[in-house]
Amino acid sequence: MASAAFGPSDGATRARLSVLASGSSGNCSAIEFRRRDGSRRLALVDLGLSPRRTQKLLHERGVSLSEVTDAFVTHFDRDHFHAGWAAREHLPFAIHVHERHEVWARRCGLAPKRMSLFDGPFMPMPGVRTSTSEEFHDEMGVIAYRFDISSGASLGYATDLGSVTSDLIDLLHKVSVLAIESNYCPKLQEASPRPAFLKRRIMGGAGHLSNQQAAHATELIEPRDHVVLMHLSRDCNAPGVAQAAHDGRPYALSVPAHGEGTDWIDAPPDRPAVRTPSAELHV
């Protein structure tokens, strides 16, 4: 039982995030971890785009699918896990799946040998610690992720949240870069021609966050540098509306429209690691 050392010498000194696409038509983001020797590792969060589209969008950002070593799945709705990944004979990267999602992953056709299961903090690569929390979303629930690197930079990723919990705030507190969903404007949602059951599902505490809930969560999280608002509803939201809830806040803001993504966003290594390394962390 070896505990993981987690100091600056471990390697990952820079991290940056790019949302490739976000929304009900497909979600995928890339995180690049760069080491002191110049080498890098590329990870994906969610696999909600086809392999071909993912490759195209990575290529536009100067990286390649062949460089991806790890993928982290928040949950197995179709817009977060595309069937094309389960159908691939060979996958050159590990797909990290929370244990509570194993049965859902199988239903999506993902073979057990392709899954790298976890149910607590882990280190997917040297110098990168992954922490998670289980949040409400429909029947299967959703996993929020935090990535801490040894230089002190950190990234948080939280989408498809039914509500804002204290676990979520604790997990993501003071991350450098926060990607969080801001799904709908309540007024536009109420006024939309959507059926009542769908409105209840979205707004009922196990669906999605409104712009105001996302802004409130962000205020409590106190991100250090940059916030990306994700998963904007095509019909019941707009970038300008979502953005307005963050006016005057002390961080940079990116708000990609439904289905769109962002350029690379750096997570600056400007402070020592905020979170205490866990003695139980295994490598």
Interface residues with Zn ion (CB under 5 A)? 79, 160
The residues facing 156 across adjacent strands are 146, 178
What is the phi-psi region of residue 199: left when phi exceeds 0, alpha when psi lies from -120 to 50, beta otherwise? alpha
DSSP state of 96: E
**Minimum separation from the CB atom of position 91 to Zn ion (A):** 22
What is the C-alpha to C-alpha distance for residues 10 and 4, in angstroms, rounded to an integer? 10
Instruction: Using the minimum distance from each CB to Zn ion, give the nearer residue, 24 or 176.
Output: 24
Instruction: Using the minimum distance from each CB to Zn ion, give the nearer residue, 70 or 79.
Output: 79
Structure tokens at 187: 């007024």
SS3 content of the chain, % helix, strand, coil (to 5): 25, 30, 45
Question: What values do phi and psi take at 27, rounded to 5?
Answer: -125, 130
**Minimum separation from the CB atom of position 231 to Zn ion (A):** 6
Instruction: Using the minimum distance from each CB to Zn ion, give the nearer residue, 14 or 199.
Output: 199
**Minimum separation from the CB atom of position 78 to Zn ion (A):** 9
Helices within 159-210 (DSSP H only): 166-172, 186-191, 196-203
**Minimum separation from the CB atom of position 86 to Zn ion (A):** 18
Q: How many helices (H) and strands (E) does the chain have?
A: 8, 14
**Minimum separation from the CB atom of position 62 to Zn ion (A):** 27
| Contact residues for 79 (Cβ-Cβ < 8 A; gap 6+) | 23, 24, 25, 26, 27, 48
Instruction: Using the minimum distance from each CB to Zn ion, give the nearer residue, 77 or 225.
Output: 77
**Minimum separation from the CB atom of position 265 to Zn ion (A):** 21
Where in 160-276 does DSSP place strands (E)? Answer: 177-181, 226-230, 252-254, 265-267
Instruction: Using the minimum distance from each CB to Zn ion, give the nearer residue, 21 or 30.
Output: 21
**Minimum separation from the CB atom of position 270 to Zn ion (A):** 32
What is the C-alpha to C-alpha distance for residues 265 and 17, in angstroms, rounded to an integer? 5
